[in-house]
Amino acid sequence: MAVPRILIVGGGYVGMYTALRLQRRLRHGEAHVTVADLDSYMTYQPFLPEAAAGNIEPRHVVVPLRRVLRSCEILSGSIESISLADRTARFQPHEGPPVTLGYDYVVVAPGSIARLLPIPGLADHGIGFKTVEEAIHLRNHVLGKLDLAASTPDERVRRRALTFVFVGGGYAGVEALGELEDMAADASRYFEGISRGDMRWILVEATDRILPEVGEDMARWTVQELRRRGIEVRTRTLLTSAENGHIVLDDGQEFDAETLVWTAGVKPNPVVAAGDLPLDEKGRVKATAYLRIKGTDFAFTAGDAAAVPDLTRPGMFCPPNAQHAVRQGRRLADNLLATIRGQTCTPYRHKNAGSVASLGLYQGVAQVYGRQMRGFPAWAMHRTYHLMRMPTFNKKSRILMDWTLGLLFPREIVSLGALQRPHEEFKFAART
């Protein structure tokens, strides 16, 4: 009998944890597992703000799939469409012709992408905060703007360089802003003529509060804390234009800014719409509590791209976060195995434990199992929790080393912006 083929679309939280569990539990020759991802690594996204701030070396927040999934086949490239009817997926390697992959079981876990709005100038001028490349870019960019501001006599250029706008007050936006502002404030002592007060950091949020993941008290405290640091928090405010870096808000404010970070929500990865997957009105793959795609017994889904019923809150769906994605990945793997072996599947059930967020060195906010924490204890909890969750002993140790070195030595303040233009020097040499 042919060995069943399992195809996992996406090697992020759900994909990697599913594959890890299958790798551990599958008997020899019981199934062949293929993981297809755009990158050859899984990104531990909750550590991206710390990577952007230089507290953690960016390479340490990613997990190489080929190293941890030794018994799986890893394909780097893009899944372009998934067919349940034919049990195939169209795979496009980074180069060369596309390939049709057949499967007996499929796991659809391509996560989410930034939810952009049709705001003039946003796509050209803004940047998201979901990938390690964006985190590295932002760190170099912010330090580059401090360099620029310290080197120009032009007040207009300086003002523009020192204005940083973040749109979206969820944990990704608040943590990214909190960490980068903290890093820039710390770095500013090495830049002549720039102090914390010379920089303008602005958080723009459309609704009436930030951090919906924590209670109102904690959210209010966070706003006070950010304002105490001189950060402008503008709730009930919309970005209406960002053309040529000229920011226009709907409260009448207008100014120039060279930095615009967009973290105003996510939407399911559009690859789930390319094929015959059943989708809900938000574009998420319809899932059952067993993490099966509705109407099938061979296709599974979970994570940010899936509408998974939340059994602890009847009628609601699990929110798109890592807390659910990790647990769903494990449950999904067990249910897939049970399906292969003709055993009974178990529904996914997890009550949201709460949220932890860091706002910069020694500052944080947390609400875990109803217990609220702020300041240093919350920050320590954020670090401890995520360190424990970080996959592999190797990465845990490296991150711990980064933090220890960070306590002993000042932060690096060099902008390696030229990383994005590695050929410039060589081209210049060729011209002269």
Size of the site for ligand FAD (CB under 6 A): 33
Binding mask 54-83 for ligand FAD (x = CB under 6 A): ------------------------xx----
Instruction: Select 148 or 172, whichever has its Cβ closest to ligand FAD.
Output: 172
Of 68, 138, 172, 184, which one interacts with ligand FAD (CB under 6 A)? 172
Q: Is 367 in the site for ligand FAD (CB under 6 A)?
A: no
Please report, as a single letter, which amino acid is at residue 361.
Answer: L
| Residue 377 to residues 174, 207, 381, Cα–Cα distance (Å) | 18, 28, 6
User: Smallest distance, Å, CB 304 to ligand FAD?
Assistant: 4
What does the alpha-carbon distance between residue 13 and residue 329 come to, in Å, rounded to a whole number? 7
Classify residue 26 by its DSSP letter: P
Of 54, 58, 111, 360, which one interacts with ligand FAD (CB under 6 A)? 111
Instruction: Select 53 or 325, whichever has its Cβ closest to ligand FAD.
Output: 325
Q: Is 285 in the site for ligand FAD (CB under 6 A)?
A: no
What does the alpha-carbon distance between residue 424 and residue 418 come to, in Å, rounded to a whole number? 8
Judged by CB under 6 A, which stretch of 37-45, 291-299, 309-317, 417-425 contacts ligand FAD? 37-45
Of 147, 179, 258, 304, which one interacts with ligand FAD (CB under 6 A)? 304
| Residue 38 to residues 64, 68, 75, 93, Cα–Cα distance (Å) | 13, 17, 8, 9
Give the helix/strand (H/E) hosting 107.
strand 105-108
Q: List residues bridging with 43 in a β-sheet.
A: 62
Q: Is 36 in the site for ligand FAD (CB under 6 A)?
A: yes
Q: Is 182 in the site for ligand FAD (CB under 6 A)?
A: no
What does the alpha-carbon distance between residue 286 and residue 272 come to, in Å, rounded to a whole number? 11
Contact 142, 259 (CB under 8 A): yes
Contact 149, 162 (CB under 8 A): yes
At 36, is the secondary structure helix, strand, or coil? strand
Q: Is 320 in the site for ligand FAD (CB under 6 A)?
A: yes
User: Smallest distance, Å, CB 266 to ligand FAD?
Assistant: 8
What does the alpha-carbon distance between residue 214 and residue 225 come to, in Å, rounded to a whole number? 15
Q: Which of 15, 44, 71 is nearest to 394 (CA)?
A: 44
Q: Is 309 in the site for ligand FAD (CB under 6 A)?
A: no
User: Smallest distance, Å, CB 303 to ligand FAD?
Assistant: 2
Q: Is 9 in the site for ligand FAD (CB under 6 A)?
A: yes
* Positions that interact with ligand FAD (CB under 6 A): 9-15, 36-39, 45-46, 48, 78-79, 109-111, 129-130, 171-172, 269, 271, 303-305, 320-323, 325
